[in-house]
Every structure is written in structure tokens, then in C-alpha cells.
Amino acid sequence: MINTSDTDLSAPATPALVDALYAAGHLDRESHDRAMAAVLPPRQWGLWASRLLLAVGMVLVLSGIVFFFAYNWYDIPPLAKFAGIQVLIAGFTIAALILQSDTLPARMMLLAASVMVGVFLAVFGQIYQTGADAWQLFAAWATLSLIWTVFSRFAPQWVFWLVIANIAAMLWWQQNGGIALFIMPGMFMILMLFNLPVLALFEVLQNRPADWRQKPWIRPMLVVAIAFFAAVPAIQFSTRFVDSWEMPKTVEGIGALLLLICLFLFYRFARPAMMGVAPVLTALTVTLIFTFSSLVEHVIRWDIPLLAEFIMLVIVLLCFAGLVQYLRNLRSGWMADQ
């Protein structure tokens, strides 16, 4: 049992604790409201609401425009469709120039213009039946929208660009390798290598004074994506190795495993970050589970299926319990160091 006297009551109070004290009867209704007001951080509702309305409103309008052109209304002449989209691209860009370039509305306008570039390319393909592959559409979209992206100095727009570029790379691999290759490690390797320099750039920029490139959500987003892309070839490599007890000839798997280990060491020692360590370690844990699964299959050969499945169940429980416990200890250690 926990010794509550050891608990540090000098930690900051949270809204959840206030609710818990109220639910347990230690606070009355009035005290609850006052305590909640004290623990909630300062907020600027007007500013926040205006940002929310602008962002969600723009998302809805842009989605509506995409839906409209996806409908492919034959009664509208092609020229009118092109003219409409081009007017929107020009309009959004001019609006961004008129508004102050560093403001959120201006950046949202540039993002909208980037989206419209994709709509233009899609409608072009609809009307002229160019026969172009899907990856070419996304590649052209990524290339053309890079102009707006660079000038926007806006982290969400870079994320948007990155998503388009990733889809282009994925579709290119599928188009050139066939559907079966979707599950092959090569595609994930390409995606991993494509995103790795972006993560490296982000980490390099952390040494500079704070600016728009240093949003705290960028690291977890990139690390989770890279860890996922690396986990697939790593799992395939380790399971094949256990199956045949021979080193597979492909380099993707061992490269992915090495990368995961390097990332773990980097975020564990060089630049301590929980949101860097956790995704990488989770990918390694899942790889380990699959390796054990292969090993169990190899050793028991499913002659005693119930035993094999029970062993796997225990392995999964132990691996995840170990992972969470390790991260908990690591967190406690880092907090103690501070």
C-alpha cells in the first residue's frame, strides 16, 4: 500500500483534484467553484474563441468546397470550374498579403490556397482524363503548394504539406510495386527515411530561440510516425530471423531496428524527452512481442495450441507491464533530477 505521508502536497493542484475533493465531500459547492477558479490557468476566451471559430470555420468551408468539386457537377462548364478555383486561389493569396503576414488569419488564407491547389489538380484530372497516376497528383500538389508553405511560417501548414508528401510517396510505392507490396517493408522504409530528416531538423532547431518551428506537439507527432514506419520492417526482420535462424538478406529490417535503438538512446540520454522515448520503446516492445510469437510458434509449432496462446497472452501482459513500469520509473527519475 502507498504511504500517503510520503506524498508531496507541494505539487500544483489540478482541476481533477478539486473535483475529487468535492466528490469526496471535503469541499462544498461554493468552495469547489472558488478552488476551481484558483487552479485553472489564465485564459483569454475572446482570443481563443476567435481562433477556434476561424480554424473550424475555414476547415468546414474548405471541406465543403472539396465535396462540391468531388460531386463533379456536369452542368458547370469546365472553364467555369477552373476559373472558380483559380479565383479562390488568387483570392486567398491576396487576402493573405493584405492581412498582416504574421497573423493567424493570413496564415489560414495561405493554407486555404494550398488546399485549393490540390482541388485544381483533381478537377484538371477529372476534366481532361489525363490518366495520371494518383501519386502524381499528390506529388504535383506537394511541389506546387511548397511555395505557400514556405512563405506561411506556420507549423500546421508544414504538417499539412508533410501529409501530402507522405501520401505521394506511399502511392508511388504502391503504384510501382503492386498492391501486395503495401505490406512490404520497403514502403515503410521510404516513409521512415522521408520523415527522419524532418525530425532531425526539428531537433536542431530546438537550440535556437523559440519561434513558430518549436511547437511541443511536433516531436511526438514525428516520433510516433517514424516509430510506426520503422516497426513494420523491424517486425518482419525479427520474425523471419526466428523462423529460419538465418540473417534475412534485406537491409530494411536491420536498418529500422538500429534506427529505433538509436532514437531510444538519443531521447533517453542525449536529449531526455518522454514523448521521444515512449513511442520508440512501444515500437520496440511490439517488435519483441511479435518475435516471441514467432519463437513460441517455432518451438511449440502450435501442436499444443492452447498452451502456445496462453504463453503469448502472458508475454503480452508482461511486455506491456514492463514497458509502463520502465516509463514510470524513468519519469520519476527525471522528476527527481529536476
Partner 1 sequence: MMEQTNKPTIAELIADHVPVASRPAARAFAGTWSAGRHARPLLQILLLGLGAAITIPLMGYLVFRSMELLSLHAGTYQIAVGAALSATSVFLQRHPRQSRNVGEILYILLITSTFATGAGLLIYGLVNLTGKAFVIPVTAMLVTAATGYLVGRGIGYAICLYLTLVCIPLFIPGDAGHAARSGAPLFGATCFGSMMLILVGGTLKPRQIVGEAPVLRALAAAVVTLLAIRVMFSFVLPPETAPVKLMSLPGVSTFLAIAGLCLLAHLGGGWRSLGYGTLLLSALATIALAALNAPGILLGLFLLVLGYHRADRFLTGLGAVQIPLYLYIFYYNLEADLLTKSGLLILGGVILLTGYGWLRLRGRDDAPGETGA
In the complex, least distance from residue 246 CB atom to partner 1, rounded to whole angstroms:
28
Assess 278 for contact with partner 1 (CB under 8 A).
Answer: yes
> Which residue in 80, 150, 201, 317 binds partner 1 (CB under 8 A)?
317
Could you give the CA distance from residue 105 to residue 29 in angstroms, rounded to a whole number?
41
Site string for partner 1, 80-109 (x = CB under 8 A): ----------------------xxx--x--
Contact 223, 276 (CB under 8 A): yes
49 binds partner 1 (CB under 8 A): yes
| Residue 128 interacts with partner 1 (CB under 8 A): yes or no | no
Residue 65 within binding range of partner 1, rule CB under 8 A: yes
3-state SS track over 209-255: CCCCCCCCCHHHHHHHHHHHHHHHHHHHHHHHHHHHCCCCCCCHHHH
Q: Is 176 helix (H, G, I), strand (E, B) or coil?
A: helix
Closest distance of CB 24 from partner 1, Å: 6
Q: Are 24 and 74 in contact (CB under 8 A)?
A: no
Beta-carbon-side half-sphere exposure of residue 65 (alpha carbons within 13 Å): 21
Part in contact with partner 1 (CB under 8 A); list of ranges 25-33, 87-95, 126-134, 255-263: 25-33
Hunting for cell 482541476 — which residue is that?
Answer: 15
Contact predicate 114/145, CB 8 Å: yes
335 binds partner 1 (CB under 8 A): no
What b-and-e string marks burial along 270-296, b requiring 16 or more CB atoms within 10 Å of the CB?
Answer: eeebeebbbbbbbbbbbbbbbbbbbbb
Q: Closest distance between partner 1 and the C-beta of residue 34, in Å?
A: 6
From residue 213 to residue 252, the character string flagging contacts with partner 1 as x (rule: CB under 8 A) and all else as - is ----------------------------------------
The residue among 40 and 83 lying less far from partner 1, judged by its C-beta, is 40
Note whether 338 binds partner 1 by CB under 8 A. Answer: no
Report the distance separating Cα 299 and Cα 283, nearest Å: 24
Interface with partner 1 includes 181 (CB under 8 A)? no
Binder of partner 1 out of 27, 123, 169, 273 (CB under 8 A): 27
Is the separation of the CB atoms in 230 and 259 below 8 Å? yes
What the block records as the C-alpha cell of 186 is 520497403
d(CA 134, CA 122): 10
Shortest approach of partner 1 to residue 26 CB, angstroms? Answer: 4
Q: Which span sits near partner 1 by CB under 8 A: 66-74, 116-124, 231-239, 243-251?
A: 66-74
**Which of 145, 238, 282, 287 lies at the binding interface for partner 1 (CB under 8 A)?**
282
